[in-house]
Chains A and B, each alone.
Chain A
Amino acid sequence: MNEMDQLAQFRATVPPGVSPRAEERFRAGLQRELDAGRPGRGHDDTAPPRTGRRRRLLVIGGTAGVVTAAAATAVALVVAPSGSASPPGRSTARPAAAAPTRSAADRTSAPTVESPLTRLADYIAASTSRQPGDATLVVRTTTLPAGDPQAGTYRVYDLYTDSGPYYFGQTRSALAAQVAGQHPTGGETFANEVAAARYAVHGDLATARLRMAALSHSPVQGMSEALVKFKADELGVKPAPGQSLRDAVGQAMLDNYVWENSQDALVAGSGNPQVRAGVLRLLTTVSGITVTAGRTAGQPTLVVAEVTSMTTPAPVRGPRHFRYQEALTLNARTGIPLGFTGGIIGQRPGTTVVYQVSRVTLAAIAAGRF
């Protein structure tokens, strides 16, 4: 046996095959590449312009924190996914802190009520009032908690014009200058998400979910069996009776994409009642979310919360399990977003965002009158 034979024998100790971790990293990286290739995205500042939300199931961030309720808890309701076989019925008081993970059991056995999101969506969609102005200004105040490398409070200005272009400024004067100089930050930022929300108002919700996720097919299509199992372990997904593991993982991933991208659509389209109505309809399709009625500053609110069980490779070896929660606070009469909290349950305080939404004119913004 010569040295080449011995090398071949030595190589044979390692079988060919892709590890789930390698495939996961490739797919996550490819998704980032695709996202970065979209017009109007790719900024990376401390107080950045609006960009696509991370799809947490593909790219897991390191932000930790306790999720604090943005509104006083009155009654928490588990929302049945639209099209679910579960019949509408009784309501059950349930504290927000006990919001469920998106397990199969949650999807099939949670007490259900007629979704307040559906009622609000129908109410908003029926609105015929004409919106003033030609753009929506969102003043976005983000607070990153102590312990975060960029801890602090940042206020920035997003301007979504009705005609498409998106402007961003870290100060009022910067935004005014951008608009006056007609230097938009993005062309059609969140156009796909907003279009999907509009479609969802009257369209087929299964199709709308794929559109909101910017997918033409299930996220698990083309995924190896090994990666499906890896994702199932990572996300704590257990299939419902009669459901394949692949389908259960696909549903969990699609739920997450819809949840994340719907938030983008809701903020970017916050000045448009049809967009808000479509987002609310889409949120009813996300399994296991909770809706809590409450009040903030005297205004009735709905807090829509989503909890995901996750296992992610830590910087050191060994799995890391945690439950990540995001909560979106809406005006209960208009569906306009008021705030967001997100972080890991049981750890240090998480990220909070306060939205102040108003309809404006480009002329007023350019003149600094806002």
Chain B
Amino acid sequence: MTHFSRAEAAADAESDDAAVIQRSRAEPEQFTVLFHRHAPHIQRYVTRRLGQDAADDIVAETFLLAFRQRDSYDQDRTDARPWLYGIATHLIGRQRRAEIRQYRALTRTGADPILEPFTDRVDDRVSAKAVGRPLAAGLARLPAELRDTLLLVAWGDLSYEQAAAALGVPVGTVRSRLSRARARLRRALDDTNPAAAREESPA
């Protein structure tokens, strides 16, 4: 459970992200409101992609980079999630190999290294294994830009327009990438050969 001061709670309830960022220019500590508001979901997104240890670093670094760039934030964008997810995705990109390794490990062994800290329940693990193994194989095969696009929508809960803003590409590009990513993933879900999991080169 997150504890808020009364001032933060009031700010949280009354202000959109742009207002919080604007206020943080004069009162830097206000940026913690943005952290409390969005970090839980960004951490989940990064953790699912890279594991908890890496996520701790990337989540902190995402918000610190955002803090340093807050003066250039477009105040017309009331929802900062595309901006934050874009930074996080960029940082994840530096660890693409680690991400692929995790997917391949899950594909090979059926053991989800990311899940370990979150549940002791055997049935949860079995369920995750059943779903995760073929998905991991498919995700490992996707080119990075398709994977980023797909996961921003599927795991980041961003709209097409927001994903486009996060990645700095036109909305049409997001639609195209998403279509290709989903088609490849569908095919991968039928692939039962774990050894086939490898990242493809961008088309």
Q: Do A and B come from one complex?
A: yes
What sequence of 0s and 1s flags, for each residue 122-152 of chain B, a beta carbon within 8 Å of any chain A beta carbon?
0010001001100100100000000000110
A-B contacts, 24 listed (Cβ < 8 Å): A2-B186, A3-B135, A6-B135, A13-B132, A14-B48, A14-B115, A16-B40, A16-B41, A17-B43, A18-B39, A22-B57, A22-B60, A23-B39, A25-B56, A26-B59, A26-B60, A30-B29, A33-B28, A33-B67, A37-B28, A222-B3, A223-B3, A224-B2, A226-B2
A331: shortest Cβ distance to chain B, in Å?
Answer: 38
Q: Is A9 an interface residue (CB 8 A)?
A: yes
Q: A13-B119, A14-B118, A221-B5 are in contact. Are A19 and B56 (CB under 8 A)?
A: yes
Q: How long is the Cα–Cα vector from A8 to B157 in the complex, in angstroms?
A: 10
Q: Is B89 an interface residue (CB 8 A)?
A: no
Which residues of A (1-47) have their CB < 8 Å from a CB of B?
A: 2-4, 6-11, 13-19, 21-23, 25-27, 29-30, 33-34, 37
Q: A30-B64, A224-B3 are in contact. Are A6 and B189 (CB under 8 A)?
A: yes
Quick check: A18 and B3 within 8 Å, CB to CB? no
Quick check: A21 and B56 within 8 Å, CB to CB? yes
The stretch of B30-38, B77-85, B94-102 that contacts the partner chain: B30-38
Q: A15 — nearest CB in chain B belongs to which residue?
A: B118
- A9 partner residues in chain B, CB cutoff 8 A: 131
Q: Is B22 an interface residue (CB 8 A)?
A: no
A30: shortest Cβ distance to chain B, in Å?
Answer: 6
Contact surface of A with B, Cβ cutoff 8 Å: 2-4, 6-11, 13-19, 21-23, 25-27, 29-30, 33-34, 37, 217, 221-226, 228, 246, 317
Q: How long is the Cα–Cα vector from A24 to B47 in the complex, in angstroms?
A: 17
A interface secondary structure, majority: helix
Q: B1 — nearest CB in chain A belongs to which residue?
A: A225
Q: A32 — nearest CB in chain B belongs to which residue?
A: B64
Q: B64 — nearest CB in chain A belongs to which residue?
A: A29
Q: How long is the Cα–Cα vector from A34 to B172 in the complex, in angstroms?
A: 40
- B150 partner residues in chain A, CB cutoff 8 A: 7
Q: How long is the Cα–Cα vector from A23 to B8 in the complex, in angstroms?
A: 16
Quick check: B67 and A30 within 8 Å, CB to CB? yes
Quick check: B3 and A225 within 8 Å, CB to CB? yes
Q: Within the complex, which residue of A2, A7, A19 is in contact with B155, where a contact is CB–CB below 8 Å?
A: A7
Q: B40 — nearest CB in chain A belongs to which residue?
A: A16
Q: Is B114 an interface residue (CB 8 A)?
A: yes
Quick check: B43 and A16 within 8 Å, CB to CB? yes
A83: shortest Cβ distance to chain B, in Å?
Answer: 25
Most chain B CB within 10 A, of A19, A22, A29, is at A22
Q: Is B182 an interface residue (CB 8 A)?
A: yes
Q: Is B167 an interface residue (CB 8 A)?
A: no
B125: shortest Cβ distance to chain A, in Å?
Answer: 9
- B185 partner residues in chain A, CB cutoff 8 A: 3, 7
- A317 partner residues in chain B, CB cutoff 8 A: 53
- A34 partner residues in chain B, CB cutoff 8 A: 28-29
- A2 partner residues in chain B, CB cutoff 8 A: 186
Most chain B CB within 10 A, of A14, A25, A222, is at A14
Quick check: B35 and A26 within 8 Å, CB to CB? yes
Quick check: B36 and A13 within 8 Å, CB to CB? no
Q: How long is the Cα–Cα vector from A16 to B186 in the complex, in angstroms?
A: 26
- A25 partner residues in chain B, CB cutoff 8 A: 56-57, 60-61
Closest 5 A/B residue pairs (Cβ): A25-B60, A7-B154, A22-B56, A26-B60, A29-B64
- A224 partner residues in chain B, CB cutoff 8 A: 1-3, 36
Q: Within the complex, which residue of A15, A21, A33 is in contact with B64, where a contact is CB–CB below 8 Å?
A: A33
- A21 partner residues in chain B, CB cutoff 8 A: 56
Q: A3 — nearest CB in chain B belongs to which residue?
A: B185
Extra A-B contacts (10), CB below 8 Å, given A13-B118, A13-B128: A4-B182, A6-B131, A9-B131, A11-B48, A13-B132, A18-B39, A18-B40, A22-B59, A22-B60, A34-B29
- A23 partner residues in chain B, CB cutoff 8 A: 35, 39, 60
B6: shortest Cβ distance to chain A, in Å?
Answer: 9
Q: How long is the Cα–Cα vector from A272 to B149 in the complex, in angstroms?
A: 62
Q: Is B55 an interface residue (CB 8 A)?
A: yes
- A7 partner residues in chain B, CB cutoff 8 A: 135, 150-151, 154-155, 185
Q: How long is the Cα–Cα vector from A225 to B1 in the complex, in angstroms?
A: 6
Q: A19 — nearest CB in chain B belongs to which residue?
A: B56
Q: Is B107 an interface residue (CB 8 A)?
A: no
- A8 partner residues in chain B, CB cutoff 8 A: 154
Quick check: B31 and A30 within 8 Å, CB to CB? yes
- B131 partner residues in chain A, CB cutoff 8 A: 6, 9-10
